[in-house]
Chain A
Amino acid sequence: MKSRTVTLLLMLPALLLLAAVFLYPMLRYGWLSLQASSVLTGLVPVPNGGANWGRLLDDARFWTDAGQTLRFALCSVILELLGGLALALLLHRPLRGRGALRALTLLPWALPTTVMALGWRWILNDPHGPLNAAIHSLGGSSYGFLSTPATTWFFVVLADVWKTMPFVALLLLAGLQTIPADLEEALRLEGASRFQILRRLTLPLLVPYLTLALLFRLAQALGVFDLIQVLTGGGPAGSTESLALYAYLNAMRFLDFGYASTVMLATFLLLLVSLGGGWLLLRRHGLERTTERAA
């Protein structure tokens, strides 16, 4: 009994700090989302009977941003998983200079997002960036990578993939290292091709790691903020604005804390729904796979 008290006391300080930083904000947003608290009220919260939530339902900008955030998250996570898998398979092979290769490929992930976002802004610059310089030298005319509303979002995805793919690769590399080499060897002796080994042995055993990477990256991508704020500022014409950036603008530019809280909570709910949906989908798919293999 006494040692139980001790373990609880050991955990208490960390848990209190976590509650203050993660739990309290969510409760506070819940309360603030039911108040008018903006310049109009002198930044003093006044209950407004759920008007913020009504406004959210009618807010075209919110729903556009929700769609754009989902598109960004799905595209970048899928590309990161595919690229990360390829990279992990490469880094797993016994190559010369593997340690250095791992460190160098890890570098984009270790740099601050704002640093790499501004770097990409220069690379995608119209007309002086290196990409446009290359187009020029091939005889083309410069392309507004960051000023064409229809395509800019894709280059934001590209920058995100560049930065986070190494992280996904490392997680998957961890999974690859748990696969016993003699299993692979046995399959090879049976005459299985590289692709067959990948499909029949490696991928099924990587499923837990792929799931972990998918859920983790999906949550982070749905909350994307700093990359977009620095790379495009949400533009051109709001075509890359994410929900988190919209919430930030509501709070810091429009000084509407009540509505900003509503947008934050709504973003959080969207995140929960997406993660839950993704997990269920994976689980059903995974179960089918297992039964398929058992049969």
Chain B
Amino acid sequence: MRLLVLLWSLGPLLWQLRTSLLRPEALVAPLLEGNPWTLANYQLVLSGDPPFWRYLANSTLVGLATTLLTLLLAVPCAYGLHKERGPLRWGVGLALVAAAMFPTVLLFLALLEIARSFGLANNLLTLSLPYTALSLPLAVLLLRAAFADLPGELEDAARLEGLGLGQRLRFVLLPLLGPALASTAVLVFLASWNEYAIALTWISRSDLLTLPIAIARIGGGSVFTIPYGAFAAATVLGSLPLLLLVLLAQRSIVSGLTRGAVKG
């Protein structure tokens, strides 16, 4: 049973790994004579123009900027929503759930207009603005649930000690939110690393492409001309950071989604 599940989940990925290590001729003629294994596909991808690591760097930069900005905006918003007792509590909560479900692609045209009129296109840092907005709903919901889990007396005690709002957040509440912040950060980073529709329309300079767009471009053109070996090498290189992230942060991701599901 476990083996079957692993085969289903990992089979397609392992096949990519195998493809990336084969000579192009070996892909179309399985019974080729001689040694079919090679690292040439990796050399090709890494010596491209721009070299492949450039896309990894681009995606990492957007991902980090988005994660930072999202947390900066989401923490105060989640705290405010946690404290709010009026009708806004319900209204904002509902709007956040709706926004979290919204399919991103439907936004791209209007966002592209905005990017053009304010000169935001072809810039990795401004790309993190819409990405932040896309990640905010989930981040606020997760963090609100985390604030709700903290004992209320803690903050009351801190207030009686004379700590202001900023100090309470910084010295009392946030240190306790560590795990929730970590799992939110991982989920936000993943989402921004994988986003497609907005990056596709905002970024046209080839040295600024993010990883999903660069990989789609390698695979662009007709079905018959795809350089599958080079492409497979690119997917393997592009998957490695995510593999590491998922293996390291598995607990965070699971607990983050779990918390989101229970409270959301």
B194 in contact with A112 (CB, 8 Å): yes
A10-B77 CB under 8 A given contacts A112-B193, A112-B194? yes
CA distance A102 to B258 in the complex (A): 13
Q: Which residue of the partner chain B has the closest CB to A83?
A: B8
Does B83 count as interface, using CB distance less than 8 angstroms?
yes
A110 in contact with B246 (CB, 8 Å): yes
> Which one of A59-67, A172-180, A184-192 is at the interface?
A172-180
Min CB–CB distance A244 → chain B (angstroms): 5
Question: Would you give the 0/1 interface string for B224-258, flagging 1 where the beta carbon is closer than 8 Å to chain A?
Answer: 00101001100100110011011100110110011
> Which one of B36-44, B172-180, B207-215 is at the interface?
B207-215
A residues less than 8 Å from B160 (CB atoms): none
Min CB–CB distance B238 → chain A (angstroms): 6
Which listed residue (B212, B219, B259) contacts A113, Cβ 8 A?
A: B212
B residues less than 8 Å from A244 (CB atoms): 103, 105-106
Q: Which residue of the partner chain B has the closest CB to A99?
A: B250
CA distance A119 to B196 in the complex (A): 16
A101 in contact with B6 (CB, 8 Å): yes
A residues less than 8 Å from B28 (CB atoms): 128
A11 in contact with B84 (CB, 8 Å): yes
A18 in contact with B99 (CB, 8 Å): yes
Which listed residue (B81, B130, B212, B213) contacts A21, Cβ 8 A?
A: B130
CA distance A252 to B104 in the complex (A): 16
A122 in contact with B86 (CB, 8 Å): no
Does A215 count as interface, using CB distance less than 8 angstroms?
yes
Q: Which residue of the partner chain A has the closest CB to B99?
A: A22
Question: Would you give the 0/1 interface string for A79-95, flagging 1 where the beta carbon is closer than 8 Å to chain B?
Answer: 00000000100100001
B105 in contact with A162 (CB, 8 Å): no
A223-B106 CB under 8 A given contacts A22-B133, A106-B253? yes
B257 in contact with A170 (CB, 8 Å): yes
A252 in contact with B246 (CB, 8 Å): no
A267-B106 CB under 8 A given contacts A21-B133, A110-B242, A114-B213? yes
Question: Would you give the 0/1 interface string for A165-207, flagging 1 where the beta carbon is closer than 8 Å to chain B?
Answer: 0110011011101100000000000000000000000000000
Does B140 count as interface, using CB distance less than 8 angstroms?
yes
B246 in contact with A103 (CB, 8 Å): yes
CA distance A250 to B106 in the complex (A): 13
B103 in contact with A114 (CB, 8 Å): no
B residues less than 8 Å from A17 (CB atoms): 73, 129, 132-133, 136
A122-B19 CB under 8 A given contacts A107-B243, A170-B258, A225-B196? yes
B residues less than 8 Å from A115 (CB atoms): 212, 215, 235, 238-239
> Which one of B45-53, B108-116, B148-156 is at the interface?
B108-116
A230 in contact with B106 (CB, 8 Å): no
A residues less than 8 Å from B8 (CB atoms): 162
Report the contact-size class of chain B (Cβ under 8 Å from the partner): 35 or more
B190 in contact with A18 (CB, 8 Å): no
A90 in contact with B106 (CB, 8 Å): no
Does A41 count as interface, using CB distance less than 8 angstroms?
no
Q: Which of A265-294 contact B (CB under 8 A)?
A: 267-268, 271
B residues less than 8 Å from A222 (CB atoms): 103
Number of interface residues of A (CB under 8 A): 86
CA distance A8 to B103 in the complex (A): 28
Chain A facing B: main interface SS:
helix
Q: Which of A207-261 contact B (CB under 8 A)?
A: 209, 212, 215-216, 219-220, 222-226, 229-230, 244, 247-248, 251-252, 257, 260-261
Does B62 count as interface, using CB distance less than 8 angstroms?
no
Q: Which of B68-90 contact A (CB under 8 A)?
A: 73-74, 76-77, 79-81, 83-84, 86, 88
Min CB–CB distance B128 → chain A (angstroms): 11
A251 in contact with B109 (CB, 8 Å): yes
A residues less than 8 Å from B136 (CB atoms): 14, 17-18
Does B119 count as interface, using CB distance less than 8 angstroms?
no
A268 in contact with B83 (CB, 8 Å): no
Min CB–CB distance A265 → chain B (angstroms): 9
Q: Which of B112-137 contact A (CB under 8 A)?
A: 113-114, 129-130, 132-134, 136-137
Closest 7 CB pairs of A and B: A223-B103, A25-B110, A10-B80, A21-B133, A174-B258, A14-B77, A103-B250
6 CB < 8 A contacts A-B: A14-B73, A21-B107, A107-B10, A111-B239, A170-B257, A244-B106
Which residues in B have some Cβ–Cβ distance to A below 8 Å?
A: 1-2, 5-6, 8-10, 12-13, 15-16, 19, 27-28, 30, 73-74, 76-77, 79-81, 83-84, 86, 88, 92, 95-96, 99-111, 113-114, 129-130, 132-134, 136-137, 140, 165, 190, 193-194, 196-197, 201, 211-213, 215-216, 218-219, 223, 226, 228, 231-232, 235, 238-239, 242-243, 245-247, 250-251, 253-254, 257-259, 261-262, 264
**A-B contact sample (13 more), CB < 8 A, given A101-B5, A118-B215, A244-B106:** A17-B73, A90-B2, A102-B250, A106-B250, A107-B10, A110-B190, A122-B226, A123-B15, A125-B228, A173-B258, A219-B103, A225-B196, A260-B109
